[in-house]
Amino acid sequence: MAFASAAAVGPLVAGNGLRMANSTTTQAYLESKPVQEAKALLTELCRQFYHLGWVGGTGGSITLKVHDDSIPKPQQIIIMSPSGVQKERMLSEDMYVLSSDGSIVSAPSPKPYPHKPPKCSDCGPLFMKAYQMRNAGAVIHSHGMESCLVTMMNPTSKEFRITHMEMIKGIQGHGYYDELVVPIIENSAHERDLTDSLAAAIEAYPKTTAVLVRNHGIYVWGDSWISAKTQAECYHYLFDAAIKLNQMGLDWSTPTHGPIKRIQGDFRSGESAVSAKAGTSGLNPGEPKPRCIVLDIEGTTTPISFVTDVLFPYARDNVGRHLSSTYDSPETQDDIKLLRGQVQEDLKAGVVGAVPIPSDDEGKEEVIAALVANVGAMIKADRKITALKQLQGHIWRTGFQNNELEGVVFEDVPEALERWHSSGIKVYIYSSGSRLAQRLIFGNTKYGDLRKYLCGFFDTAVGNKRETRSYVEIFNSMGVDDPSEILFVTDVYQEATAAKEAGLEVIISVRPGNGPLPENHGFKTVNSFSEI
């Protein structure tokens, strides 16, 4: 972390009108009420978190910005707790003050033995990533036991997932029915060495407000200290719940929270039939052909860009037109009923972008305006919820009927579908999009109607695509005796892992625009369906 004199902070305008351009005015601002209140607040939070077990043994740390309406948030100065000290005994005078770029403006004076010389938090570089990449107002680093143990339940997992728990509503952008996903990064001997991996996780998970560090703890940030504190409390509650559910043999990541594994039939123990090394292509000569193939859409049959750059914008831009023209139809009234219920839950949970929907008595236009605002926020957050997916499917249907949309698939897909169909292999689609949306994409391509080659469509009604139970349900729906007779093709590592655990054969699709795969992922890969 860079060091600087107080005079080097730069020309920030303080809340009391002082310009922080030289040592005199900077010192005046450092002694101002907003800064002193922020220091006092941080000492109080450190004591509270100590008693919660989050910052014991001098571990963990907290930082927050000095809120000042006259200074843009990215330029507000930062208060940060020191490293290697008893957090419950800290005083305001022990705090570091940093400029918005991480340079130290003010450091505490040394204390006599047995106190160690003052040192700014080792978490500083990681805190700065949350400030810079997420415009955070506060960041909490906890060593709470729950945040450590939850990363150890599955030593190979790169994510923590949980759904259908009340406290999920306390996490920004999430509701009760949503799946909460927290990335897990690997620990290192020195805290600063985690900086790059934490930044990569923040970038890879745009919805997350936390990153877990395996065998270590968690970093949580929020728009303000209240948001960061509230979310940290909710995360620790959810981690504790997952640990206790795991001890009871229950699966915290599924809506039913049922048994982690069924004794017979559904889950395979041990290794799946897929045991290839990463990078191996296609099916090896002599291997038995699958009786059924299940295909993902985005990144597998269809470019991801078609969904993100064509379908999503079309739905967002045509919500108002669709609702106005079909408002009185039973179908649209059902869509509105679902949206009302979802928005009501979102408002209770404090979901960003949720706005109240007026009653029908207040007029059609007012209702539609509120619906458009809510749907736009849902699409922006890429929420996998039934109310949104159902409405999107109806909007896209109109687009396809009016020849404003055309389904897109990779060039190798039609030939492969025809070849598999001719050889007696049954082909299915499994996507997070609704079954209506799936039928529209494959029924309206430049290659004609490809649905004649497909035997069925699965959506999230069978379960989340990253849950093993979903693939067990798909297996139980097909006329095969063993899940290894089903080949699942996807571009998402977590989906591949879930399908493998259910006993399916799995191949990962590598297409232009797809996200990177973990090193040594252990799955066969293909660049084209011609390899299958």
- For 233, the enclosing helix (H) or strand (E) is helix 225-247
Q: Is 521 annotated as a binding residue?
A: no
Q: Looking at the domain 304-402, which fold is it? A: 1.10.720
CA–CA gap between residue 475 and residue 458 (Å, rounded): 11
For the domain spanning 28-248, the CATH number is 3.40.225.10
C-alpha torsion sign, points 79, 83, 88, 93:
negative
More confident residue, 39 or 18: 39
β-pairing, 456-458 with 426-430? parallel
Q: How confident is the model at residue 117 (pLDDT cuts 50, 70, 90)?
A: confident
Q: What is the mean pLDDT of residues 112-116?
A: 85
For the domain spanning 292-299+408-531, the CATH number is 3.40.50.1000
Catalytic residues: 166
What per-residue confidence (pLDDT) applies to 282?
56
Cβ(252)–Cβ(487) below 8 Å: no
- The rounded percent of the chain whose pLDDT value lies above 70 is 90
CA–CA gap between residue 343 and residue 383 (Å, rounded): 12
Q: How confident is the model at residue 432 (pLDDT cuts 50, 70, 90)?
A: confident
CA distances from 380 to 11, 354, 388, 408 (A): 36, 12, 11, 22
Cβ(63)–Cβ(121) below 8 Å: yes
Q: Is 325 annotated as a binding residue?
A: no
CA distances from 10 to 19, 119, 458, 500, 503 (A): 9, 23, 57, 55, 60
Omega cis (within 30) before 114: yes
Q: List every span in the chain annotated with CATH 3.40.225.10.
A: 28-248
Angle subtended by helix axes 312-326 and 386-401, to nearest 10: 80
Print burial letters for 406-427: b (CB count within 10 Å at least 16), e (below 16): ebbbbebbbebbeebbeeebbb
Q: List every span in the chain annotated with CATH 3.40.50.1000.
A: 292-299+408-531
- pLDDT higher than threshold 60 for residue 519: yes
> What is the DSSP annotation of 80-104?
EPBSSS-GGG--GGG-EEE-TTS-E
What one-character DSSP code corresponds to residue 332? H
Cβ(509)–Cβ(515) below 8 Å: no
Cβ(168)–Cβ(181) below 8 Å: no
Q: Is 207 annotated as a binding residue?
A: no
What per-residue confidence (pLDDT) applies to 1?
38
Q: List every span in the chain annotated with CATH 1.10.720.60.
A: 304-402
Q: What is the mean pLDDT of residues 122-151?
A: 94
Q: How confident is the model at residue 284 (pLDDT cuts 50, 70, 90)?
A: low
**Residues facing residue 218 across a β-bridge:** 142, 212
Averaged confidence pLDDT in the chain: 86
Cβ(283)–Cβ(498) below 8 Å: no
Q: Is 67 annotated as a binding residue?
A: no
Q: Which residues contact 265 (CB under 8 A, 6 or more apart)?
A: none
Q: Is 51 annotated as a binding residue?
A: no
Q: What is the mean pLDDT of residues 62-76?
A: 91
- pLDDT higher than threshold 90 for residue 10: no
Q: Is 394 annotated as a binding residue?
A: no
**Residues facing residue 3 across a β-bridge:** 104
Reference 153, options 265, 274, 249; nearest CA is 249
At which residue do the structure tokens 């290894």 appear? 484
Q: Is 465 annotated as a binding residue?
A: yes
- pLDDT higher than threshold 70 for residue 16: no
CA–CA gap between residue 371 and residue 354 (Å, rounded): 10
Q: Is 257 annotated as a binding residue?
A: no
Q: Is 115 annotated as a binding residue?
A: no
What one-character DSSP code corresponds to residue 456? E
Helix extents (H) in 285-385 = 304-306, 312-326, 330-349, 364-380
Q: How confident is the model at residue 287 (pLDDT cuts 50, 70, 90)?
A: low
pLDDT digits (tens, 9 = 90+) for 137-162: 999 999 999 999 999 998 888 899 99
Q: Is 141 annotated as a binding residue?
A: yes
Q: How confident is the model at residue 70 (pLDDT cuts 50, 70, 90)?
A: confident
At which residue do the structure tokens 């005079």 appear? 7
CA–CA gap between residue 375 and residue 320 (Å, rounded): 10
pTM for this entry: 0.51
- For 130, the enclosing helix (H) or strand (E) is helix 124-134
